[in-house]
Amino acid sequence: MSRKLMVGAAQLGPIERTESRSQAVARMVDLMHQAKARGVQLVVFPELALTTFFPRWYFEDQAEVDAFFERELPGPETQPLFDAARELDIGFYLGYGELAQEDGKTRHFNTSILVDGSGRIVGKYRKVHLPGHAEHEPWRPFQHLEKRYFEPGNQGFGAWQAFGGTMGMALCNDRRWPETYRMLALQGVELMMLGYNTPIHYPPVPEHDHLQGFHNHLCMQAGAYQNGMWVVGVAKAGKEEGCDLLGQSCIIGPTGEIMAMASTMEDELITYECDLDRTREIRENIFNFSLHRRPEVYDLITKA
Ligand code: CDV
């Protein structure tokens, strides 16, 4: 059986605050149709792909925050994504704000799901590394209140058998942490999907603004190579509510090479046929974990 998977990275341009979920979903369904025409089997969408990136605002009223979250998925406005998956026989990864009832409490997570070509949810991931701050910091030109609006993911990093291989998920800031890739690789993940919203201006260290694009690719290319896995990083890009978000969505091979990259700051589909067996070139050689890895001397890494 072929281990080649045609993957689409479906970058989204800005989603304004007034844009409804139905409008965002319609844009994504259109990208799924473009993907079908190009033979794609799996489409990757960005983080928090159904709404504007709301952590840039401080809200006092929790109801205003909750309006950006999904209580059910699929729900009436998101059902068309699942219908398109079934109709086109295309799977997708989607980032969204998850409002869950768990342990008798209302919980908020920054979540992604993996849906197969029959429209069935096969995996769910809750973002582990939440960046930003928890309190209102009026000195900033815009807020980054992920630490206020979300709880850290409580399910760790997973791996799912789907699309003929072992699939993994992560979200945005996770890509900057080597532990993310290694946790997935140790579970045999061959292709990691990751959506992001990355403001180009980083208020605490503006000296690094010009390095945003470099750091984006640096960490994903290193993570791909050092773990011998495909990495599909997908942006919500462009000027959203006055805030410039990084583009450069890309599909990276297990050698660390960028195989395809978006060239606009708008809705754009890029594709690449990912041979999952190419992970072996790395995993059976330079990063053969069982042969060369020395976990007995890495204990500091897991000590708090
Ligand atoms: N959505 C994110 O996680 N954004 C962060 C920014 C705030 C640094 C990122 O790592 O891209």
| Mean pLDDT, residues 240-248 taken together | 98
Among 70, 146, 172, 219, the active-site one is: 172
| Cβ atoms 38, 1 nearer than 8 A | no
Each domain of the chain, given as residue ranges in start order, spans: 4-303
250 is catalytic: no
Instruction: Tell me which residues have their CB closer than 6 angstroms to ligand 1.
Output: 47, 131-132, 144, 172-173, 176, 196-198
172 is catalytic: yes
pLDDT in tens, 180-217: 999 999 999 999 999 999 999 999 999 999 999 999 99
Quote the mean pLDDT of the chain. 98
109 vs 125: CA distance, rounded Å? 9
Q: What share of the chain in percent tops pLDDT 90?
A: 98
180 vs 174: CA distance, rounded Å? 6
What's the half-sphere exposure (Cβ side, CA atoms, 13 Å) at 20?
6
| Cβ atoms 89, 117 nearer than 8 A | yes
Cα(130) to centroid of ligand 1, in Å? 8
pLDDT at 1 over 70: no
Give strand pairing partners of 94: 113
Q: Nearest 5°: phi and psi at 275? A: -85, 110
pLDDT for residue 73:
97
7 vs 248: CA distance, rounded Å? 16
- Among 3.40.50.150, 3.40.50.620, 3.30.390.30, 3.60.110.10, what is the CATH number of 4-303? 3.60.110.10
| Cβ atoms 109, 153 nearer than 8 A | yes
281 vs 99: CA distance, rounded Å? 41
Among 47, 70, 240, 268, the active-site one is: 47
pLDDT for residue 304:
79
> Is the four-CA dihedral 88, 97, 185, 133 of positive or negative sign?
positive
4 is catalytic: no
Strand-strand pairing, 165-171 and 160-162: antiparallel
pLDDT in tens, 36-63: 999 999 999 999 999 999 999 999 999 9
300 vs 304: CA distance, rounded Å? 8
List Cβ neighbours of 7 (8 Å cut-off, separation of 6 or more): 40, 41, 42, 43, 44, 191, 230, 232, 251, 271, 272, 273, 274
pLDDT in tens, 58-94: 999 999 999 999 999 999 999 999 999 999 999 999 9
170 vs 46: CA distance, rounded Å? 11
- Tokens coding 288: 């053969």
CA 19 from chain center: how many Å?
Answer: 21
List Cβ neighbours of 226 (8 Å cut-off, separation of 6 or more): 178, 181, 182, 287
Strand-strand pairing, 121-126 and 105-115: antiparallel
| Cβ atoms 94, 113 nearer than 8 A | yes
Name the pTM for this structure.
Answer: 0.98
